[in-house]
Each structure stands twice: as structure tokens, then as C-alpha cells.
Amino acid sequence: MILLTLAGVVVLVAGAGLALLLDRRPKWASFAGAGMAMLGCAAVFAASFRMLIGGDAEAIRWPWSMPLGAFSVALDPLSAFFLLPIAALTGLAALYGAEYLQSWTGRKSLGMAWFWYNLLAAAMILAVIARNGLLFLAAWEMMALASFFLVAFEDEQERVREAAWTYFIATHLGTAFVVALFALLAAQTGTLDFDAFGPISAPTSGLLFILAVIGFGAKAGFVPLHVWLPEAHPAAPSHVSAVMSGVMIKTGIYALLRMMTLLGEPQPWWGWTLIAIGLASGVLGALFALAQHDLKRLLAYCSVENIGIIALGLGLGVLGYTARSPLLAILGFGGALLHVLNHAIFKGLLFLAAGAVAHGAGTREMDRLGGLLKRMPWTGAAFAVGAAAICGLPPLNGFVSEYLVFFGGFLGGVSISGHFATAGFLAVAALALIGGLALAAFTKAFGIIFLGEARTEAAGRAHEPGMAMRFPICLLAGACLLIGFFAPVTVLLLARPIAAILPMGEHAVDGYLLAMAAQLRWFVLLAAVLAALLAALALLRSGLLAGRSVTERGTWDCGYARPTARMQYTASSFAQPLVDLFRAVLRTRRSLDAPQGTLPTKSASLSTATGDTFTHKLFRPAFGGVTRLMERMRGVQHGRVQLYVLYVALTLVALLVWRLGVARP
Amino acid sequence: MIEPRHAAPLLALALAPLMTGIINRTKAFFAGRQGPPLLQAYFDLWKLLRKGAVYSRATTWVFRAGPMVGVATGAAALLIVPLGGEPALLAFPGDILLLAGLLALARFFIIAAALDTGSAFEGMGASREAQFSALAEPALLLSLAALARLTGGLSLSDLFRDITPAAWVENGPALALAAAALVIVFLAENARIPVDDPNTHLELTMIHEVMVLDHGGPDFAYVLYGAALKLWVLGALVIGVLVPWRGPNPWANLAAVVAGLFVLSVAVGVVESCMARLRLLRVPQLLTVAGVFAALAIILLRR
């Protein structure tokens, strides 16, 4: 199976090259790029699926000329579990992108776009199967570069360029920590092969864990390292945003998990660190999502929120492990893993749908949309499914994974004592608040964009995209329902990845998961009851209304004579009460141009914008300080050759003095 | 043989609208009026079910689905909420979360249905509903978590079975705090005073009522019935804590809980007669208080 995976990578790289070669003929380049991307992803999907349902772990080691180890790749259940959504979403997004990018034909180099897209896919897959530090870092860097160029696709826009640079700097700061992590590991063990990293003793392993959390957390979007997400994801073309938000940030979660399996015995404070991160990311992500006006920015913040839920799960898992509670550990890690898969599905779906909205109505500003469900019934219905799923509502897939983490919190709170119980209750409270805020954010997104009346003419002329864009969206919506209704089967897929994380036999994990599956069977039963009730109620309603007068009128407006679509509640007004309540964190800026006088003649205006508090209060001052410090250093940079020669001479003299005087043995 | 746990959901389906009737009669009594008949809610449902419908041109299938989801989730919740110490029809570990999920599902659709009309008033109600329920959710789950901690039960049925007079003697303060939190959530989620006034007819101040302004005919009947079921479900949680006595006869226990729900309805009526609705800006504080009560209950139990 590992060979099939590598073949997929080769196909992707070949696709990248082919797309670049055919750059002169955009149609062919699109065809080759998207086609090869789908082909490669299909191969990887098949390999990882086979692995998950019971293939043997396989590894390949080829000697190479790099120092510290060999070209080593492997496909084990943990890798396969992350490859599954990567391959599926990247493949589907490629199909979508083939149509989505068409409107740029002639204005942009499509060959280039597909070159980077295929490289991004190949790099993500390679990062997940790499078992050598150097190979991993190479793939990691390739992934960062490819996605940077994809973010900068519309580089004629100032905002896009700025977003791309923000992303570039953020991702490389993260990479710096990853490099430090591997350097430390190499210094400790003398190699960079993952297999050779023996268990590492306590103080060092803690330091390595911190490095991993910062380095990989920057990619995953842990608060406060998330600041690049809401900039970069909206700037990229929608199929790229779907891939970046749906799966690329999960490579950070994967790498963190992989490192944790290599670092040996976890400490309770690791779990607490992850829970604290999860709490902050989950709640702040949901709050900032609620305050956004731009659909894709909202979705990007919501990714931060979901990464928070995943981190909460991981934290509970670590605590369960250290508390010697296998069930809590399995619920935590299992919930986190399943949420990785689920989030890839619904976030991919939502970003693709957001692209369809931008494509069909010409804007992503929620306050300029409205009533799209009538003109885009397929996309709208799929968006509704995705929105409900991301809020963790039964009977959809989001509920299943949140349920595992939630139940873990309950279990920890109820049956374990000491600080573990506190963590459990904290997780319960956080998940409940996150759920409520997410519901507010997504009823807002769905309601303001797809329901009501069109707020602008452009929104009134919106149209469905073509089949290539519609098919992936609907397929992903189907997957949300499928995983929800087949929850008992889905959780069993988690057995092998969990066994790769926890030092328990696969059979033991299977035993616990079978118990969970039995529990989830009740949930499916209730979901079926719900569906039957809905069908019965719908039948009753249509039976009652048959033959009676059913008419259509304008919406009741308290007798006002001339209602307009602009009188509807807007995205900002919908979110205002909650945004106002949490203004201390959100720091929404208002600019009000109030009407003057008894009979105002001048037009008035009010606008609100919620930037990122961490950008404004943390990173901007910090980077500003660095810049000021560097400006002081400018004094030494005159640009005069004579001075530089003087520097060289002085350095040499200083070294000579040091060698002769101080360092004499 | 028919056991109480089989009969409980049917009983709820039949008796839920009666709670509204009792509340309204209590309020009428306090106001010195005769008030509507106890069965008025049933008459209203019957009247509405026989009507045609008028839909707004702005609406889509979401508007029509909202009321149906409300009834379906309420009825599904009846299957997992236990009455009188007996296990519910379906009892399994983690059904607590499913209950919260079902309530959230109904909320999602009722908010979406309100936004579907494109009316500013309904948008206003939807916005407030989203805000208050986001704050009520942690209070609800934390108070249930406190009860779970107390009893060690992970399903609603286990949990309420073990809330007995003995538990009250042992952990009275914690149970009282959890119950207080549940009462606040019960009042807030069911649009009762002090959070929302079901009698107000000023759209600007309403929450739940204003969200359903455009529903009519059978759809509105569904809305009313769904609301009645929700009142029953959340009331059952409150009564499960406040009425812990269990006799040997399960039917008597069931009757005691139903009587308890009717007393709760009277209490709601009394509250609505004695106090005014809180200012909207104060409601988040009330809900935060509920969350704090639940958290305090947990801390008391952590000793």
C-alpha cells in the first residue's frame, strides 16, 4: 500500500510538471492539472482506506545522500487516517477548481496555479508518510511554499499580497520551532529517523513537546498563533481555501500527534496545556467567527474553533492516559481524530459553497447577499447541511465527534477524581459554550446569505454553478449525513489509529470502541425516529393543507406600506447582542456618521469591523518593537566598502587577540 | 404489559399543552379575571389545524421545515427524558448530550425559519434567541454534569433515579444550586418571564413570539405544540430534581411527577404575575448566574 501511496505522490508531481508545460494552453493545463490531482488523490485514498480497514503497516527505507538517516517513509494507521481526508478533499476540490478557475482564463496563469496545487497535495501526503526529520522538513517547507503561492493567486490585489506575506512569515516562524525541535532530537539521538528516536526522558521531552506545540500549532491555528488563518484562507481561491482549512492545517495536528507518540510517556501538564489551548481556540474562534461580515473570514475563524475542539479532545486523551483511564484516553483521542475527518468534510463543503456564492453572486460580503436559496437550491441545501453539521447537531457527523469529546469530558468529570475531573468539567462547559456560539455564527451565515430577500441586485441575479462545482459540494453534504447515520461503523474505523497512539493492543481498543458503537446505535435509532417523525409530520401537514386555501403574500411588516429588502436584519445586526456582550475581547471598531439635525439632509452611515485582537494587541506591537530595534542597527550599515573592510579587519584582530590571549590552553 | 415508562411519552404528548393552560389560568386568577378555559391550548391547536395557510413570498422550504423540526425533536426528546425515577423508554449513557443536541437542532431550524421571512422583527427575535441560548447551553450542561457527578450516572435515567430524598439530605446545597440553574434555563428556553413575556404584543421586545409572527394555520399549530413539548421536557428535568420521592408503585411515581409538572406550571404563572420581564441587557447576566450556580454545585460536590 505504501507503494501505491508513493505512486500517488509521483502522479501528483508529474501532474504539476505537466500543468506547467501546458501553461500556454490554459484548458489543457487545467485538464491535466486537475485530472492528475484527482488520479493521484484517488490512489492515495484507496491505499489509506485499505490500510484503515485492515492492511499491514508498511515502511520503505532508501539510502540517500543526506546526512542523519535514510529516505524513510511508512504508511501506518495513524498516517492513513490523516491521508484519507487529505486525499478525498484535495481530489474533490481539484474537480471543483477545474471549473472555478475557468473565469481567470487568459488573465492568470492556470498552469502555474495547478502546478502549485499538485505540489501542495504531494507535499501534504509526503509530510504525513515521512519517517525522517529531513524528509519531513522538506515536505513541510514545500507545503508552506506551495500554499503561499496559491494564496497569492490574485496578487494584483493589495489585500491578497498582504495576506500572503502574513502567512509566509507565520508559517516560517512556526517552521523555525520545528527545526529547533528536530535539531534537539538529532543532538539527543544522533539521527533523524523517527524509528530511532527512543523514549526521551522527562525534562527534555517536555521541552520538545513545547517546541512541537508552538511549531505545529502555528500550522494548525492554535490561539494565539492563528492570526494568519483569517487573512490567508479568504485570500486564496475557494478550492484552495477548502484544502488549506479542511486538511492542510490538520497536518499540524498530525505532526503534533506523531511527535507525542515519539516522545515517550506524556505528563499531565501536556494534557492541561492542550486543554487550555483548546479552550482559548474554541471559544475565541467561535466568537471572532460570529463577528465577521465576510463569509470566508467567518469560515476561517470557525476553523480555529474546530481546531480548539480537536485540541480539547487531545488534551482529554493525554489526561486519560496519565490517569490510567483507557476509556477517557480513547474518547479524547478518538473524538479528536474523528473531528479531524469530520471537519475536513464540512469545512471543505462550506468553503466550496462559499466559492459558489462568490462565483454566483459576485461577493462574499454577507450584508450584500440574501435569498440565495431560491436561486441556488443545491448549494443552499448543502450549505444548510454543512452548517448544521459544524454546529454539532444530531443526526449529522459533527455531532458524533463532538459527542465523543463531550462524553469524555462527562466521564472524566464524573468518574475520575482530582484535577482530571476539573479538566472534564472545563471541557464540558467549553464545548457547550462553543456549541452555542457556533450555532449563532452559522444560523447567521446560512440565514443572512441564503434566506430572506436579496439585499442587492447582484444577489438577486445569483445562479448555481456548473456540475463540476456542484457535484463535490453535494457529495460532501452526503458524507455528513452518511457518517452521522453510520456512526457506530465509523467509530470502529478509529481503532487502529488509536492503537497507534496509545500503548494498548488493537483488541483492547476495539473492545472499548465496540461499547461506544453500541451506545451510538441508540443515537442512530433516535435519529431514525426523528426522521420518521419528520416524514409523518410533513405528510400530516400536506394532508391537512390539501384542498384548502394556501396563498402567498408579502411578509408581515406591522402595516408598513413600502418594505424593502434593506430593512431586513443584517449579519452585523444579527450578531450585535453577542458581539456587544463580548466586546472586551472582540474590540469591534465602529465608525458612525450620525444623522444631524431634526430633518437630516446629509446621508448617514454606520460600519463595524472586527479585526483580530491578537494581531493588533500582540503581534503588531511585538513586530513593531523588533523593527525599531533593527532600525537602530542600521547605523552600522553605511554601504561604504571601506567601513566593511574595517569591520572585517577589526573582527580578525579581535579573534586573534582571543586566540592568543584568552583561549590559550 | 404496559409499564409507566411506555406510557410516559404518550402521557406527555397528550398533557403537554395543559401546562400552558394552567399557567394562563394562574395568571388570570392573580389578575382577578376568569381567564381562558384550561383546555384553551387544545382548542387553539384544533382551530389552527383546520385552517389554510398564508406564506410569505420570501420563504422557502426552511420556513416550512422549522415547525416540523420543533415538534419532531420535542417528541424524540420525550423518549429519553425519564419521569418519576423510572428509566425512560430509551436510556443509554450519553443521552444527556443527545438531549442538548435535539434542543439545539430545534433552535437552529426555528432561527433559520425566522430569518427566512426576511422580516426585521423576526430577525430581531432570532438574534436574541441565538444570544440567549448560547449562554443557556453551558448552564444546562453544567447543571446536568453536576447531577451526574453527584449520582455517578451517565444517562438521564440513571441520573434521575438516584436523586432521592437521601441525596437531598446529603448534598442539599449542591442539588439546590443545580435545580436553581435548571429553573433559570427552563424559564429562559421556554420564553417565560423574567426572560421573555409570552403575552407581549410589542414586536420590539419579544423573542420567541416574534420569531413565529409569519407562521399560520397547521404550521403555527406545530409551533405551539412543539413549544408545549419543550416546556414539558425541560420541566421534567426540573421536577426530576425537585420531586425526589419514590414510592413502591411506579404508576404513583409517574402521577406524582405529572402533578409536580402542573405545580411547576402554577409556579410559572405566579412568577409571571408577580414580576416584570427583565431588561434585555440584564438577561445575559441572569443566564450567567445560572452557569455560575451550576459551577458552584460542581465545586461543592468536588470536596
Model confidence pLDDT, tens digit, residues A106-120: 888 999 999 999 999
Distance CA B101, CA B107 (A): 10
Average pLDDT over residues A174-197: 90
Mean pLDDT of chain A: 92
Average pLDDT over residues A119-134: 95
- The reported pLDDT for the residue numbered B228 is 96
Higher per-residue pLDDT: A418 or A183: A183
Please give the full DSSP string across A596-638, using - where no structure is assigned.
-SSS--S--EEEEE---HHIIIIIHHHHHHHHHHHHHHGGG--
Whether B145 has a pLDDT exceeding 90, the answer reads yes
- The reported pLDDT for the residue numbered A232 is 94
Handedness of CA B279, B284, B285, B286 (dihedral sign): positive
- The reported pLDDT for the residue numbered A305 is 97
**CB distance A568–B135 less than 8 Å?**
no
Mean pLDDT of chain B: 92
**Which cell numbers in the block locate residue A236?**
486564496
**CB distance A421–B76 less than 8 Å?**
no
Helix (H) / strand (E) containing A464: none
Grid look-up 423576526 returns: B122
For residue B190, give the nearest of B155, B156, B140 by alpha carbon: B140
Q: Considering only alpha carbons, which residue of chain A is nearest residue B55?
A: A552
Residue among A406, A410, A538 minimizing CB distance to B68: A538
- The percentage of residues in chain A with a pLDDT greater than 90, rounded to a whole number, is 73
Whether B157 has a pLDDT exceeding 80, the answer reads yes
- The reported pLDDT for the residue numbered B203 is 63
**Which cell numbers in the block locate residue B136?**
443557556
- The reported pLDDT for the residue numbered B280 is 85
Whether A537 has a pLDDT exceeding 70, the answer reads yes
> Judged by CB atoms within 8 Å, which residues 401-440 of A form the interface with B?
403, 406-407, 409-411, 413-415, 421-422, 425, 428-429, 431-433, 435-437, 439-440
Task: With beta carbons less than 8 A apart as the criterion, state whether A70 and A86 touch.
Answer: no
Residue among A371, A392, A442 minimizing CB distance to B58: A371
Determine the length of chain B.
Answer: 303
- The reported pLDDT for the residue numbered A561 is 65
Residue among A428, A538, A565 minimizing CB distance to B141: A428
Average pLDDT over residues B151-161: 90
Does residue A545 belong to the interface with chain B, where contact is any CB pair within 8 Å? yes
**CB distance A537–B222 less than 8 Å?**
yes
- The reported pLDDT for the residue numbered B120 is 87
Q: At what angle do helices A397-415 and A377-390 cross, to 10 degrees?
A: 10
Please give the full DSSP string across A201-267, using - where no structure is assigned.
-HHHHHHHHHHHHHHHHHHHT-TTTTTTHHHHHHHS-HHHHHHIIIIIHHHHHHHHHHHHHHS-S--
From chain A, pick out residues whose CB is under 8 angstroms from the CB of B94.
403, 407, 410, 519, 523
* Strand residue runs (E) in A362-486: none
Whether B82 has a pLDDT exceeding 60, the answer reads yes
- The reported pLDDT for the residue numbered B24 is 93
What's the pLDDT tens digit per position in A69-81?
A: 788 999 999 999 9
Sequence-separated (6 or more) residues with CB below 8 Å from residue B173:
B297, B300
DSSP-derived 3-state class of residue A59: strand
Residue among B73, B117, B218 minimizing CB distance to A544: B218
From chain B, pick out residues whose CB is under 8 angstroms from the CB of A439.
104, 107-108, 111, 130, 133-134
Distance CA B21, CA B38 (A): 5
pLDDT band at A663 (very low <50, low <70, confident <90, very high): low
To the nearest 10°, report the CA torsion of A362, A367, A373, A374: -80
**CB distance A553–B56 less than 8 Å?**
yes
Mutate to test the interface with A, among B108, B203, B224, B302 (most CBs of A within 10 A): B108
How many angstroms separate the CA of residue B101 from the nearest CA in chain A? 5
Distance CA A338, CA A328 (A): 15
Average pLDDT over residues A523-527: 93
What's the pLDDT tens digit per position in A257-316?
A: 999 998 888 999 999 999 999 999 999 999 999 999 999 999 999 999 999 999 999 999
How many angstroms separate the CA of residue A563 from the nearest CA in chain B? 9
Q: Considering only alpha carbons, which residue of chain B is nearest residue A415?
A: B152
Distance CA A43, CA A4 (A): 6
Residue among A439, A526, A556 minimizing CB distance to B98: A526
Distance CA A464, CA B258 (A): 52
Does residue A583 belong to the interface with chain B, where contact is any CB pair within 8 Å? no
DSSP-derived 3-state class of residue A593: strand
**CB distance A548–B53 less than 8 Å?**
yes
Residue among A387, A453, A556 minimizing CB distance to B213: A556
Does residue A457 belong to the interface with chain B, where contact is any CB pair within 8 Å? no
pLDDT band at A31 (very low <50, low <70, confident <90, very high): very high
In this structure, are strands B53-56 and A550-553 parallel, antiparallel, or unpaired? parallel
Does residue A240 belong to the interface with chain B, where contact is any CB pair within 8 Å? no
Task: With beta carbons less than 8 A apart as the criterion, state whether B20 and B231 touch.
Answer: yes
Whether B303 has a pLDDT exceeding 70, the answer reads no
* Strand residue runs (E) in A252-354: none
How many angstroms separate the CA of residue B188 from the nearest CA in chain A? 14
**Which cell numbers in the block locate residue B190?**
421556554
**CB distance A429–B92 less than 8 Å?**
no
pLDDT band at A605 (very low <50, low <70, confident <90, very high): confident
Does residue A562 belong to the interface with chain B, where contact is any CB pair within 8 Å? no
- The reported pLDDT for the residue numbered B208 is 85
Hey, where are the domains in chain B?
16-301
What's the pLDDT tens digit per position in B180-238?
A: 999 999 999 998 888 888 877 666 667 888 888 889 999 999 999 999 999 999 999 99
How many angstroms separate the CA of residue A275 from the nearest CA in chain B? 17
pLDDT band at A471 (very low <50, low <70, confident <90, very high): very high
DSSP-derived 3-state class of residue A595: coil
Mutate to test the interface with B, among A379, A442, A542, A544 (most CBs of B within 10 A): A544
The ipTM of this complex is 0.96
- The reported pLDDT for the residue numbered A516 is 92
Residue among B71, B92, B119 minimizing CB distance to A537: B71
Return the minimum-mean-pLDDT range out of A115-129, A650-664, B160-174. Answer: A650-664
Residue among A529, A552, A556 minimizing CB distance to B76: A529
Count CB-CB contacts under 10 A for residue A617: 12
**Which cell numbers in the block locate residue A121?**
497535495
What's the pLDDT tens digit per position in A222-264?
A: 999 999 999 999 999 999 999 999 999 999 999 999 999 988 8
**CB distance A568–B134 less than 8 Å?**
no
**CB distance B112–A446 less than 8 Å?**
yes
Distance CA A87, CA A37 (A): 9
From chain A, pick out residues whose CB is under 8 angstroms from the CB of B79.
526, 529
- φ/ψ of A22, rounded to 5, equals -90, 15
Distance CA A191, CA A305 (A): 37
- The reported pLDDT for the residue numbered B202 is 66
- The percentage of residues in chain B with a pLDDT greater than 70, rounded to a whole number, is 98
**CB distance B152–A415 less than 8 Å?**
yes
Distance CA B145, CA B119 (A): 38
Cβ-based burial of B302 (10 A; exposed 0-12, middle 13-18, buried ≥19): middle
DSSP state of A291: H
Please give the full DSSP string across A27-51, using - where no structure is assigned.
HHHHHHHHHHHHHHHHHHHHHHHHH
Whether B66 has a pLDDT exceeding 60, the answer reads yes
Distance CA A15, CA A91 (A): 13
From chain A, pick out residues whose CB is under 8 angstroms from the CB of B154.
407, 410-411, 414
**Which cell numbers in the block locate residue A358?**
462568490
Distance CA A322, CA A96 (A): 44
Residue among B111, B121, B145 minimizing CB distance to A428: B145
pLDDT band at B4 (very low <50, low <70, confident <90, very high): confident
Residue among B122, B141, B214 minimizing CB distance to A432: B141
Return the minimum-mean-pLDDT range out of A106-120, A156-170, A424-438, A502-516. Answer: A502-516
From chain A, pick out residues whose CB is under 8 angstroms from the CB of B101.
392-394, 399, 403
Sequence-separated (6 or more) residues with CB below 8 Å from residue A126:
A9, A73, A135, A138, A139, A142
